[in-house]
């Protein structure tokens, strides 16, 4: 049935050739005539973490389903490294981490069973795990810090633990492309940080990671690429180019909670006009002049330098207070 | 003759009783295996529907002198396809669709039997007639049971994945549509076999109760299969044997036995039983600060 892909060792950046996921002008419509996605097109390369951002009903889930081949686009196609999606799936190139709501947590399967499910593609017709499969499963569980829970029934885990187990399954699958559907929903901050760290490592090792999220604040923290969608692609590209105030307002319309300091009761903000965008999650902060702001300074020296430069310029030639 | 043997062994000295007991046990084991998937997949209503939808097929098969299994499987799959078709094209809820389709098939079956009463007695289909089963029927049951056990035995891990997480199954390149169809076909075939033992009305119990009972007893699917099969086979063997003393109500005996065991487990199961749950709730109430006792960890390996 499934042809077993070669049981290759974990990919190190040196030995994994670049891999490209291209979504080519797909249109997805449902039997009732509703068009969920129209002429959607973007390309992603391995070694990137890409955020798929859009409001509820913008077609994020549909796009994921189309990429995974769960729904067939009425036009266009999805390709991975020049091969069709079906052949890429059979080759074990793509792993999927589902949303918590998609999983039946009352099922009588243990953490260990779930992680081994990531190894089915490597197993024989009977799906009997071999020593190598157990080894990889164990290593994957250890990597997400869930090895000690291996015999737990999955319903007995906390939200964050559940997420880590399914992440471990994706790791065990050893796929170059990993899709995560809303990975931070119902997850505590430590787990969120741990997941982000892990995704960064995978990305550095040459994986291609696509994360669908409505957690805007987390996006600039760990994604280097963004695809903004609302029934079609509104913008796609590097985070600092795409994740702008204008684009987000366009993508989200009136859905976001805006909190503008100069319109609020906060009057003393030291002339630093700040816009804070949030949808119950981490706030996304735009500084003076609509600049994207980060929560930490480490590694953002260039941004700081840029701001200082602008400040100096502004001081030299004071501009009128209103636009 | 009979006073040589203790009365409890009497049933075993009748050829028809022995055959009934062995065939029931076989059917029970197959149904027990399948019931683990049916209960977890949420297909209980589907099992009920198929058990009624096979009736016109059986009626036609007997009227034409064909093997009953072929006819039953035919209308069973036709009903399943009909449900899928109606479901895909109307916004009706699934239970309404199942209800409309299976009652239509069952009514057609009743009509066919009343038009052609010489074919097969209505009672045989509705209540089963394992005591009067013919050699040809036994042969069919054995073939169906062997095929079902073989497919389930070889592919249970794939079927489990399709039931548990169809997305992951697809992501691994498994053909979920085929696996779904396989499960549905096995359900139809097994329904037909069980029809002989307990009849159309009680088939659904054979296809649900063992799995439901096993589910309350374990958190591991592989163990659930073992428990489900043992329960199915055990209750069917004992039920068929006991039916000798109750004058023929084989289906009633088997299903009553299954229900009694289910009730026992429902109250006294070590983890999911009502008594244990009450205990836990009390413990939590008394020592709110203390964490509730976690499940006894399965053998650490």
Q: List, for residues A90-149, the tens digit of each pLDDT value.
A: 888 999 998 888 889 999 999 999 999 999 989 988 888 999 999 999 999 999 999 999
* Residues in contact with B10: Cβ distance below 8 Å, sequence separation at least 6, in sequence order: B2, B244
Quick check: is A175 in a domain? yes
Would you call A162 an interface residue with chain B, using a CB distance cutoff of 8 Å? no
With CB atoms and an 8 Å threshold, state whether B170 touches A102. Answer: no
* Nearest chain A Cα distance for residue B300, angstroms: 7
Q: Is residue B207 pLDDT above 90, yes or no?
A: yes
* A194 shares a domain with A216: yes
* A261 shares a domain with A238: no
* Nearest chain A Cα distance for residue B279, angstroms: 18
Burial class, B255, CB count within 10 angstroms (exposed 0-12 / middle 13-18 / buried 19+):
buried
Task: Identify the pLDDT of residue B299.
Answer: 40
Which helix or strand (DSSP H or E) is residue A233 part of? strand A233-238
**Integer Cα distance of A295 and A284 in angstroms:** 9
* A291 shares a domain with A209: no
Q: Is residue B289 pLDDT above 70, yes or no?
A: no
**Integer Cα distance of A61 and A212 in angstroms:** 8
Which chain B residues contact residue A134 at CB under 8 A?
none
| Lowest mean pLDDT, pick from A38-47, A226-235, A253-262, B93-102 | A253-262
In terms of Cα–Cα distance, which of B165, B266, B166 is closest to A162?
Answer: B165
Q: Judged by CB atoms within 8 Å, which residues 28-87 of B form the interface with A?
A: 40
More reliable by pLDDT, B70 or B152: B152
* A215 shares a domain with A112: yes
**B165 with A95: CB under 8 angstroms?**
no
Would you call A152 an interface residue with chain B, using a CB distance cutoff of 8 Å? yes
Q: Which of B165, B173, B297 sits opposite A103 (nearest CB)?
A: B165
Task: Identify the pLDDT of residue B300.
Answer: 40
Task: Identify the pLDDT of residue B113.
Answer: 87
CB atoms within 10 A of CB B139: 12
Quick check: is A263 in a domain? yes
* Nearest chain B Cα distance for residue A191, angstroms: 21
Confidence of residue A215 (pLDDT cuts 50, 70, 90): confident
Q: What is the pLDDT of residues B34-74, one digit of tens each?
A: 999 999 998 888 888 988 898 899 888 888 888 888 888 88
Q: Is residue B4 pLDDT above 80, yes or no?
A: no
CATH of the domain at A88: 3.40.50.300
In terms of Cα–Cα distance, which of A76, A26, A31 is closest to A229?
Answer: A26
In this structure, what DSSP letter does residue B94 have? H
**A205 with A10: CB under 8 angstroms?**
yes
User: Which residues span the domain enclosing A105?
Assistant: 20-242
**Integer Cα distance of A145 and A194 in angstroms:** 10
Q: Which of A1, A68, A107 sits opposite B171 (nearest CB)?
A: A68
Q: What is the pLDDT of residues A278-291, one digit of tens each?
A: 655 566 777 766 77
Domain final position from A242, A277, A305: A242
DSSP B130-194: GGG--HHHHHHHHHHHHHHHHHHHHHHHHHHHHHH-HHHHHHTT--HHHHHHHHHHHHHHHHHHH
**What is the count of structural domains for chain A?**
2
With CB atoms and an 8 Å threshold, state whether A126 touches B161. Answer: no
Which chain B residues contact residue A108 at CB under 8 A?
40, 215, 218-221, 224
With CB atoms and an 8 Å threshold, state whether A68 touches B167. Answer: yes
**Integer Cα distance of A57 and A36 in angstroms:** 8
Q: Is residue A23 pLDDT above 60, yes or no?
A: yes
Strands A225-229 and A233-238: antiparallel
Reported ipTM: 0.82
**Integer Cα distance of A134 and A136 in angstroms:** 6
Quick check: is A300 in a domain? yes
With CB atoms and an 8 Å threshold, state whether B165 touches A151. Answer: no
Would you call B221 an interface residue with chain A, using a CB distance cutoff of 8 Å? yes
- Residues constituting chain A: 323
Q: How far is CA B295 from CA B44, B214, B218, in A?
A: 28, 17, 11
Q: What is the pLDDT of residues A170-197, one digit of tens each?
A: 999 999 999 999 888 888 888 888 999 9
* Nearest chain A Cα distance for residue B227, angstroms: 13
Quick check: is A321 in a domain? no
Quick check: is A116 in a domain? yes
Task: Identify the pLDDT of residue A197.
Answer: 92
* A198 shares a domain with A142: yes
Quick check: is A33 in a domain? yes
Domain final position from A182, A208, A242: A242
With CB atoms and an 8 Å threshold, state whether B158 touches A69. Answer: no
Quick check: is A2 in a domain? no
Domain final position from A242, A268, A284: A242
* A72 shares a domain with A110: yes
More reliable by pLDDT, A183 or B120: A183
Which chain B residues contact residue A31 at CB under 8 A?
88
* A260 shares a domain with A227: no
| Lowest mean pLDDT, pick from A39-53, A139-153, B110-124, B254-268 | B110-124
With CB atoms and an 8 Å threshold, state whether B173 touches A68. Answer: no
Q: How much is the pTM?
A: 0.81
Task: Identify the pLDDT of residue B288.
Answer: 55
Task: Identify the pLDDT of residue A3.
Answer: 40
Quick check: is A5 in a domain? no
B150 → chain A, closest CA residue: A126
Task: Identify the pLDDT of residue B301.
Answer: 36
Q: What is the pLDDT of residues A294-315, one digit of tens each?
A: 766 777 778 778 777 877 777 7
Report the CATH fold assignment for B2-132+139-283. Answer: ABC transporter involved in vitamin B12 uptake, BtuC (1.10.3470)
């Amino acid at each position: 049935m499934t042809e077993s892909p070669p049981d290759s060792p974990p990919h190190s950046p040196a030995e994994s050739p670049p891999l490209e996921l291209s979504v080519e002008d797909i249109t997805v419509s449902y039997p009732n005539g509703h068009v969920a996605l129209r002429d959607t097109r973007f390309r992603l390369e391995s070694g990137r973490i890409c955020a798929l951002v859009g409001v509820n009903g913008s077609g994020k889930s549909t796009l994921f389903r189309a990429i995974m081949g769960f729904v067939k686009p009425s036009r266009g196609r999805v390709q991975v490294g020049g091969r069709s999606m079906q052949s890429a799936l059979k080759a074990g190139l793509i792993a999927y981490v589902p949303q918590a709501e998609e999983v039946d947590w009352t099922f009588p399967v243990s953490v260990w069973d779930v992680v081994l499910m990531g190894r089915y593609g490597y197993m024989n017709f009977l799906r009997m795990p071999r020593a190598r499969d157990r080894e990889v499963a164990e290593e994957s569980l250890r990597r997400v810090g869930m090895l000690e829970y291996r015999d737990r029934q999955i319903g007995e885990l906390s939200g964050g633990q559940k997420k880590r187990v399914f992440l471990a399954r994706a790791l065990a699958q050893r796929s170059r492309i990993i899709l995560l559907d809303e990975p931070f929903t119902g997850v505590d901050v430590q787990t969120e940080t741990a997941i982000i760290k892990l995704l960064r490592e995978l990305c550095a090792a040459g994986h291609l990671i696509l994360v669908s999220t409505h957690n805007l604040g987390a996006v600039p923290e760990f994604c280097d690429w963004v695809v903004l969608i609302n029934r079609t692609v509104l913008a796609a590209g590097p985070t600092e180019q795409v994740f702008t105030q204008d684009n987000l307002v366009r993508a989200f319309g009136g859905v976001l909670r805006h909190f503008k300091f100069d319109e609020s009761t906060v009057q003393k903000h030291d002339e630093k006009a700040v816009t804070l965008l949030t949808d119950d999650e981490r706030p996304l902060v735009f500084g003076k002049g609509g600049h994207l702001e980060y929560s930490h300074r480490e590694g953002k020296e260039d941004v700081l330098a840029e701001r200082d430069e602008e400040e100096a310029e502004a001081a030299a030639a004071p501009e009128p207070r209103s636009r | 003759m009979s006073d040589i043997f203790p009365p409890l062994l009497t049933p075993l000295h009748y050829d028809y009783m022995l055959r009934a007991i062995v065939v029931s046990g076989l059917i029970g084991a197959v149904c027990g295996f399948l019931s683990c998937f049916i209960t977890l997949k949420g297909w209980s209503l589907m099992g009920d529907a198929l058990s009624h939808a096979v009736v016109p097929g059986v009626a036609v098969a007997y009227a034409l002198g064909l093997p009953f299994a072929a006819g039953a499987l035919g209308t069973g799959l036709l009903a399943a396809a009909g449900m899928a078709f109606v479901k895909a094209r109307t916004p009706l809820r699934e239970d309404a669709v199942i209800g409309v389709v299976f009652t239509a098939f069952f009514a057609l079956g009743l009509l066919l039997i009343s038009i052609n009463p010489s074919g097969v007695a209505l009672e045989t289909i509705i209540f089963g007639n394992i005591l009067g089963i013919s050699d040809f029927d036994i042969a069919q049951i054995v073939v169906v049971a062997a095929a079902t056990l073989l497919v389930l035995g070889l592919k249970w891990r794939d079927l489990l994945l399709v039931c548990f997480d169809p997305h992951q199954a697809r992501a691994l390149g498994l053909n979920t549509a085929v696996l779904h169809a396989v499960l549905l076909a096995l359900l139809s075939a097994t329904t037909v076999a069980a029809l002989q033992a307990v009849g159309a009305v009680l088939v659904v119990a054979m296809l649900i109760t063992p799995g439901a009972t096993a589910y309350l007893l374990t958190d591991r699917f592989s163990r659930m299969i073992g428990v489900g099969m043992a329960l199915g086979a055990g209750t069917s063997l004992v039920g068929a044997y006991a039916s000798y003393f109750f004058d023929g109500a084989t289906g009633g005996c088997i299903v009553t036995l299954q229900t009694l065991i289910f009730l026992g487990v429902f109250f006294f199961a070590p983890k999911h039983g009502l008594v244990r749950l009450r205990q836990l709730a009390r413990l939590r109430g008394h020592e709110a600060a203390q964490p509730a006792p976690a499940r006894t960890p399965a053998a650490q390996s």
